[in-house]
Amino acid sequence: MAEKVVVITGASSGIGANLAKRLGTAGHLLVLAARREQQLAEVAREAHPRAVAVAADVTQRCDVEGVRDVALSAFGCVDVWINNAGRGIGRSVLDLSDADVDEMIAVNLKSALYGMQAIVPHFQARGTGHLINVSSFLGRVPLVSFRSAYSAAKSALNTLTANLRVDLARTHPGIRVSLVMPGVVLTDFGKNALGAAPGRPTGAPAGAPKPQTADEVSEAIASLIEHPQAELYTNPALHDVARHYVDDVARFEGESSRA
């Protein structure tokens, strides 16, 4: 794959950190953003000698625009922008507070919106570019009900991504817009979630796909950069689960409640 300038938010740990190291090893030029400055700097050092670390709170529009400006100053252009920052929650719908919902929307939806609005005009001016929004399988199928507000925010992200893709296809066909939907990934995501996960079954039906590693997910995203497509379930088995849900919601939810 030809050298690209890639921006990754949420790059200090988990999928973002793993992806940064994978892409850096492949020779890509990286701009990495996250709030945790020390961890981010370590990831940048491991990823690539020229990787740029930008301490940023992506729930703040000015910080996201600052990440874009640093990338353009350092490398002159951006080829790929990956909105990867996210945070979970462990509360059911009836237990959610206003603050819970606001936090989930800010971290999982508005941060990506800011990224889209910051970088797409640059892509439009160049006539090319690739925007990748990292969502979640839970934004499509309610397998884990205590991730309620997180799932809702990711569902909204799915919709914004699709609408942007349709808009740009009409006017700027050289710009690619992709949605990535991992399932359960073996990272510290659950540990860093708001609230505690309830001590009850997740609702996943028997035979649900096994969790993936961050390395497996980052490999899928790296492949997506080389071969763009509209949507990607990083775990191929999730395609069938999603189709099962969409084809017969009542039956699917009935089976899940008995799992």
Query: What pLDDT, in 10s, does the model give residues 117-166?
Result: 999 999 999 999 999 999 999 999 988 889 999 999 999 999 999 999 99
Task: Please state, in angstroms and rounded to a whole number, the distance separating the CA atoms of residues 203 and 167.
Answer: 36
With a cut of 70, say whether residue 52 has pLDDT above it.
Answer: yes
Give the rounded percent of residues in the chain with a pLDDT score beyond 90: 75
Domain residue spans in the chain? Answer: 5-258
The verdict on domain 5-258 having CATH code 3.40.228.10 is no
With a cut of 90, say whether residue 257 has pLDDT above it.
Answer: no
61 neighbors 72 (Cβ within 8 angstroms):
no
What mean pLDDT comes out for the span 182-189? 72
84 neighbors 214 (Cβ within 8 angstroms):
no
- Against a cut of 0.75, is the pTM above it? yes
Round the average pLDDT of the chain to a whole number and report it: 91
Q: Which two tokens stand for residue 182?
A: 């991992």
With a cut of 90, say whether residue 58 has pLDDT above it.
Answer: yes
With a cut of 50, say whether residue 200 has pLDDT above it.
Answer: no
Q: Could you say which of 114, 150, 233, 245 is catalytic?
A: 150
| Beta bridge partners of residue 80, listed in sequence order | 6, 130
233 is a catalytic site residue: no
